[in-house]
A and B are shown apart, each in its own frame.
Chain A
Amino acid sequence: MTINFTVSPSFPNERISDWYIFNTWLQRALSLPIHLELYNSFGAQRAAIAEGKVDLIYANPFDASLLVREKGFRAIARPEGPPDEMVVITGTDSPAREIRDLQPGTRLACSDDPCVNTVGRILLEPANLGGDNIVEHRRETYIQVARELLRGEADIGFLPVEAFEGFSPLIRRDLRALVTSELHVIRHVFLVGPALAERSEELTALLLSMHESDKGRGILEALGARRWLPVQHEDVEFMIDIISTLNQ
């Protein structure tokens, strides 16, 4: 039986090869054939989840909600480090100094990242901006979102903080944050699906001790993490309860 593994498309492109290295490490450690499929959009990944083509996933908090509550997945680990936050950006020459300065008709550039977009829309609420009075430009990547602003084709953009901070100084020079979320409560998590349920304890132990070997530590560092931490099922349920309020 081949296990299908995927990773939320929110990671930077330069880490694609690192996720393949992680997958090779995982296959060897579990002595199990694991196929890594990296989808180039959140929509494509959601479709794969709906078709039952995912057994293991490093998921964004929104997909984790769906997988835990509706597909019988279990969260087993999360990377050590800050939680997921997002930023509403604008051009440095924009007259808007804060969200409330934004006007109906504001042009928004965003990716199809469900997490970033949901939180971003909440951050626009103080300006009474929503689906009916903003003009949305969907782009495939975070860098395309930034380019929309740099070309003056959008007024604001939604990005994960990590993506914004990862841009080159040349790009960041002409952009600034209008507001950065401080939710502190939502995170990416590593989930195991029903097909691997019997081996979830073994897999958990493997991830939690990954940083103890030079090889494992090197892979983690390449992925931008120091170690995996355990997650309690109730902590994930709580995160899902919080996420369910954000769509209201």
Chain B
Amino acid sequence: MKDMDLADIAGEAVEHVLTYTGGHTRRVYVTPIETPYPHGKLIVSRTDTQGIITQCNPSFVEMSGYCEAELIGQPHCLLRHPDMPAAAFRDLWKTVQAGQQWHGYVKNLRKDGGHYWVYATVVPNVRDGKIVGFTSVRREPSREKVALAEAQYQEMRGS
């Protein structure tokens, strides 16, 4: 996964280096700008069992700030925001790989360094008894629930 490009960033940004499972790293730039969730829409994507994006809907593309070609074939953690604690994603993977649904509030990182909050549900795609991938559906969260999640994640990061 390539580092973020400063040329894509809108506004004043803070640099972070994210370390993912497996040890690889990515330089990201983060601004405080939030993009409001579009009312009435669902953001939908699918990944393979390794978390590589195989399919996404127009709302996913629009909110991420990337074009579809930049998303397909990339790991889903392309959207990981440094404010999200790694433990939340560990819990997500552990849950869905065990064949169960996971849901929670997620702050996603946009290509332009901004972010958007979602309420996400991830389900394993079970075909003939085997997990062949995962579907993630995000919807608009309430601001109160986002505030609670933000406080919880801050505490989990120990900052």
Bound-state CA distance A127–B135 (Å) is 26
Whether A39 is near chain B, meaning CB under 8 Å from some CB there, is: no
Flag if B142 contacts A245 (CB, 8 Å): no
Residue in A122, A128, A237 whose CB lies within 8 Å of B127 = A237
Asked whether A221 is an interface residue with its Cβ less than 8 Å from the other chain, the reply is no
A100 to B142, CA, bound (A): 8
A99 to B40, CA, bound (A): 10
* Known contacts A122-B139, A125-B139; A244 and B41 CB within 8 A of each other: no
Task: Of the listed stretches A50-58, A177-185, A211-219, name the one at the interface; the rest are far from the partner chain.
Answer: A177-185
Our pick among B39, B58, B135 for the contact of A245 (Cβ within 8 Å) is B135
Closest to A128 in B: B142
Looking at B14-22, B27-35, B117-125, the stretch in contact with chain A turns out to be: B117-125
- B39 touching A185 by the CB < 8 A rule? no
Secondary structure class of chain A's binding surface, majority of residues = helix
Among candidates A128, A183, A244, A248, residue contacting B145 with C-beta atoms closer than 8 Å:
A128
Does B57 count as interface, using CB distance less than 8 angstroms?
yes
How many residues on A have C-beta within 8 angstroms of the other chain's C-beta atoms? Answer: 24
Q: With contacts A242-B135, A244-B101 known, is A127 near B41, CB below 8 A?
A: no
How many B residues are at the interface, by size bracket? 20 to 34
Contacts A245-B137, A248-B103 given; indicate if A184 touches B145 (C-beta within 8 A). no
* B123 contact from A100, A183, A245, Cβ within 8 A: A245
Interface residue? B75 (CB, 8 A): no
In the complex, A220→B37 CA distance in Å? Answer: 38
User: A248 and B125 in contact (CB under 8 A), knowing A126-B142, A181-B40?
Assistant: no
A238→B142 contact, CB < 8 A: no
What separation, in Å, do the CA atoms of A245 and B135 have in the docked complex?
9
CA distance A241 to B127 in the complex (A): 11
A237 in contact with B40 given A184-B57, A242-B137 (CB within 8 Å) = no
Which of chain B's residues have a CB closer than 8 A to the CB of A99? 39
Report if A248-B121 is in contact (Cβ < 8 Å); known contacts: A185-B44, A238-B46: yes
Residues of A within 8 A of B (CB): 98-100, 122-123, 125-128, 179-185, 237-238, 241-242, 244-246, 248
Closest 9 CB pairs of A and B: A245-B121, A245-B137, A241-B135, A128-B142, A182-B41, A248-B121, A179-B40, A126-B140, A183-B42
Q: Which residues of B contact A (CB under 8 A)?
A: 37-42, 44, 46, 57-59, 101, 103, 119, 121-123, 125, 127, 135, 137, 139-145
4 more contacts with CB within 8 A, not counting A125-B142, A238-B135, are A125-B141, A127-B142, A237-B127, A245-B137
